[in-house]
Amino acid sequence: MTSRVQGGGPGLRTGLSQRPQLAPAMQQSLSLLRLPAADLQAEIARELAVNPYLRWRGATPVAGEGAAEALAAEPSQLQDLVAQIGLMRLPDTVRAMAIHLAADLREDGYLDTPLAEVAADLGVPLDVAEAGLAALQSCEPAGVGARNLPECLALQLADRGLPPGQAAQVVAHLEAFVARDWRSLGRTLGLDRPALERIAALLPGLKAHPLASTDRAPALVADLVAEPDAKGRLQVRRTEAAAPRLGLDADLMADPPASPEAADARARAQALVAAVQARGDTLERIGAFLLEAQADFVANGPERLRPLSRRAVATALDLHPSTVGRAVAGKAIDLRGRLLPLSAFLAAPLPQAEGPALAGFAVRDRIARLIAAEPPGAPLSDEALRGLLAAEGIDIARRTVAKYRQWMNLPPSHLRRRIARLRGPADSRRYGQTG
C-alpha cells in the first residue's frame, strides 16, 4: 500500500492507493464534492494563482471578484483539520486516512461511516483506519471525529486531563453526577469527593456537537436553485457558485508540456476542471432526487418530512452512501428565495409499533414544541411526553423520547423544574426553544 499526496490546496489531492485503487481524478472529485461553495471557490483561486493552464470562461471571475486571489477566504473547518493532521508525525498511510475521514465528517463533527466500511472501500487494513481515526480525534476542537455522543463527551473530558478510561466511566455515570450522588460515584470510580467535584465542574463546558457552534462556520451559499418550469414543476440547477466558469488555456493545451513541472500542472488543471464538473453533476442529481422524494415536506413544512437516509438516496442513484454524505455536507438549495440545507431533506427512520416509520427530525421537533408549551414549574416527564405523542399517533418508547430530548440538549423534567424555580416564571420556558 502507498499513500499519494500531490501538490495543491489541502484536501484536494490526498488519498490512499492500493490495488484496486481510486484514480487521482476520482480522489479529487470526492474531495471537491465535500467542500461548500465558498470553500470550492477558495480552492480554485489558490490553484489559479499557480497554474497557467487554467483560465476563466468569460471576463468575470467567480463570485464577481476582481481577482482570483480575492476568493481565498478564512480556512474552513475541513482545511483546519487537514492542517492540524499535516503537522502530526504520522506514517503517510495513516495521515492520508485521517484526512479522508476528516472529509467524511458530518457538519457537526461526528463520523457516521463505520471504520470497517471505510477500510473495505479503500482496500486498507482496519488498523490503518483505526490509527487514522485516532489522529483525527486528537485534533481541535475536542470531540471531533466521535462516532456517538458518549465518545464525543469522553474525548472532551480526556482533552481536559482525565485518563481516557476514566473519562468513559464518567460519561457512563452522568446521571449520578447530575444528582450529585458522591457516595455512589466514589464506590464506582474509586475517587474521593473533592476529585469528583473537580470532575463535575468540567461537565457544564462539554458540547454535544463539537463543530455545531464554531465561530468559523461559513454562511451557507446556495449550490443549487429550484425554479418552476413552464408547467410549474420545480427543476433543479446548479448556481454559478457551484459551477464556476473554469476552463483550460487552449493555446497552452495545444502544445506538449515543456517540462515535468508543466506536465504536472497540465494534469492538475485537467483533473480540477473535470472534478468541478463532476461535483456539479452529482449535486444536481442528488438535489433533484431529494426535492422529488420530499415533495410533501417542500409543500407543507417539517412535519411532513418522511424518513430518508443517505443509504436510501445512494441506492436510488447508484452512488456510495459516503458520496451522498459528502454531497449534502455544508450545501444548500435556494427554494423560492428560502435557503435550505440539503441535509434538512434527510431524516433517520423511526420505527413505530404500528403504522409506517416516522422521520426522527419531525418527532424531535414535536418533542421540543411540547416542552416549550409545558406549564411553568410543572414540566412534562419523558413518560408524559410519550403519552402525548401516542395520543397524536406517534408510538415510540419512553427511552426514545429521552434520547431525542438529550440530543437537543433539553434537561430532564426534574432539572427543568429546578431551573424554573431559580429563574422565575418569565424564563421558565427557555429550554423549549431549539433555535
Q: What are the DSSP calls for 229-269, one per residue?
A: -TTS-EEEEE-TTTS--EEE-HHHHHS--SSHHHHHHHHHH
- Encode burial over 209-238: b for 16+ CB neighbours within 10 A, e otherwise: bbbeeeeeeeebbbbbbbeeeeeeebebeb
- Looking up cell 480552492, which residue turns up? 43
First CA to last CA distance, the chain: 47
pLDDT at 135: 93
Asked if the structure places residue 80 within a domain, the reply is no
pLDDT at 69: 40
Whether residue 327 is found in the same domain as residue 387 = no
Asked if the structure places residue 287 within a domain, the reply is yes
Angle at 266 between CA 260 and CA 270, to 5 degrees: 145
Range of the domain at 353: 349-432
pLDDT at 323: 84
**pLDDT digit string, tens, across residues 153-165:** 999 999 888 898 8
Low-confidence ranges of the chain (pLDDT < 70): 1-30, 57-76, 212-220, 302-303, 348-362, 407, 409, 420, 422-435
Whether residue 254 is found in the same domain as residue 334 = yes
The number of folded domains in the chain is 3
pLDDT at 216: 47
Asked if the structure places residue 300 within a domain, the reply is yes
Domain end (from 345, 365, 393): 345
pTM: 0.56
pLDDT at 212: 63
Whether residue 304 is found in the same domain as residue 331 = yes
Asked if the structure places residue 17 within a domain, the reply is no
Whether residue 356 is found in the same domain as residue 414 = yes
Residue 428 belongs to domain with CATH number: 1.10.10.60
Neighbouring residues of 125: CB distance < 8 A, sequence distance ≥ 6:
119
Whether residue 383 is found in the same domain as residue 426 = yes
Bridge partners for 54 per DSSP: 248
Per DSSP, the residues of 292-354 read HHTHHHHHH-GGGPPPB-HHHHHHHHT--HHHHHHHHTT-EEEETTEEEEGGGG-B-EE--SS
Whether residue 336 is found in the same domain as residue 355 = no
Please choose, from the candidates 150, 60, 145, the residue with its C-alpha nearest in 3D space to the C-alpha of residue 109: 145
Whether residue 284 is found in the same domain as residue 376 = no
Whether residue 171 is found in the same domain as residue 187 = yes
Asked if the structure places residue 317 within a domain, the reply is yes
pLDDT at 360: 62
Asked if the structure places residue 117 within a domain, the reply is no
What are the backbone dihedrals phi and psi of residue 242, each rounded to the nearest 5 degrees, phi first? -90, -10
pLDDT at 176: 85
Whether residue 226 is found in the same domain as residue 341 = yes
Whether residue 178 is found in the same domain as residue 270 = no
Asked if the structure places residue 296 within a domain, the reply is yes
Give the span between the Cα atoms of 314 and 50, in whole angstroms.
36
**pLDDT digit string, tens, across residues 85-140:** 888 888 888 988 888 888 788 878 888 888 888 888 778 899 999 999 999 999 98
Asked if the structure places residue 274 within a domain, the reply is yes
Whether residue 395 is found in the same domain as residue 353 = yes
pLDDT at 435: 34
Whether residue 232 is found in the same domain as residue 316 = yes
pLDDT at 60: 42
